[in-house]
Structure formats: structure tokens, C-alpha cells
Homo-oligomer: A and B are copies of this chain.
Amino acid sequence: MINILRLSHRAFRDARMSSHVCLTARAFGANKVYYTGQKDEKLENSLNKVVNDWGGNFEVEYIEKWSQVIKEHKNKGFEILHLTMYGINPESIVKDIKNKDLLIIVGGEKVESEIYQLADYNVSIGNQPHSEVAALAILIHIITEGKELTLEFLKAKKQIIPDNKRKLLNRK
């Protein structure tokens, strides 16, 4: 099981970035995104609509305090991974976290130093400035060995038939 904790969402400025974090989490097989910062019903509604149309089990939930989410996951035996450009190459820990439940923390503009200490692993996709969306995608891709490429979503009303030239969409 993979859950995500998205920190410090700002409803206006981060609307699309947080939406892409959540959509990527879902499409790559994560179960749930918790987010802190500003509660954003537009974000939640748009995600719920995607789940309704495209299927699968995925939830997004606003929480006030990240400390509570981390604590609960630690108590349940989850490994805590924090994505930061300062971290280590996830290839070096892939064996250690194999088959474990994971909470992946995706930072906002400023990340409190306590997060670095609470995380079991601070990991980075390269050590260059780029994107939390790209980093999250690659991290889950590495952990799940590319599962997102062939993942199936139950109870989907919309389903794409992959094609090299045409847009083929099944509606149920």
C-alpha cells in the first residue's frame, strides 16, 4: 500500500500542481493522498470525479496536521519516504522497502526540518531542481517496477484502448 502526504497546499497558487500530484498518485496505483495547508473542495471534487469516471479506489483527504498522519503511519508499520532534491538515490533503498507499506511525503514551498528527521528515508530523483510531480512518478515507478504502465482500474466508466494513431475511448 502506498499513501501520499502532500504538504502546504495553497488553493489558488498550487491548484494545478496539487491536482497533478493527486492524479499521478492515483494513476500510479497509490491508495490515498492526505494534504495539509488550505482545504480545497474544488481539488477534492475534481479528483472524486476522475475516480467516478475512470474507476479504481482512490481517496483524497484534507488534514490539519501532518504530524498526526506520519505518527499513525509509523504506528501501522509504514516506512516514511520524503521526496526532496537533497536526498539519496532511491535505487539504493529499493531492496529495504520492498513489499513494505509506504507513506511518501511530497513537500510544498517550505518544508520543516523535522520532516527530514521523521522520514526513514529522504530520497531524490537526481539532485537537480525539477518537479515534485516528476519525482513522485519516478519514485513509484522504481518501487513498483513500472506497474503504472499496465495497471487496471475496476468499475471504470471510461476506458482507453491504446492506439498508435487514434483516440479510442470506451464509455460504459
Contact = CB atoms under 8 A, between A and B. Distances in A.
Question: How many monomers of this protein are in the complex?
Answer: 2
A163 B86 contact: yes
A162 B28 CA distance: 26
Contact of A124 (B50, B151, B162): B162
A23 B129 contact: yes
Interface SS, A side: mixed
Interface in A115-143: 116-117, 121-122, 124-131, 133-138, 141-142
Residue among A26, A130, A165 with max Cβ neighbours from chain B (10 Å): A130
A160 B127 contact: yes
Q: Interface residues of A toward B: which range?
A: 35 or more
B162 A24 contact: no
Contacts of A88: 162-164
Contacts of A127: 159-160, 162
Interface in A93-134: 116-117, 121-122, 124-131, 133-134
A153 interface: yes
B23 A116 contact: no
Interface of A: 16-17, 20, 23-24, 26-28, 50, 54, 84-91, 116-117, 121-122, 124-131, 133-138, 141-142, 146, 148-151, 153, 159-160, 162-169
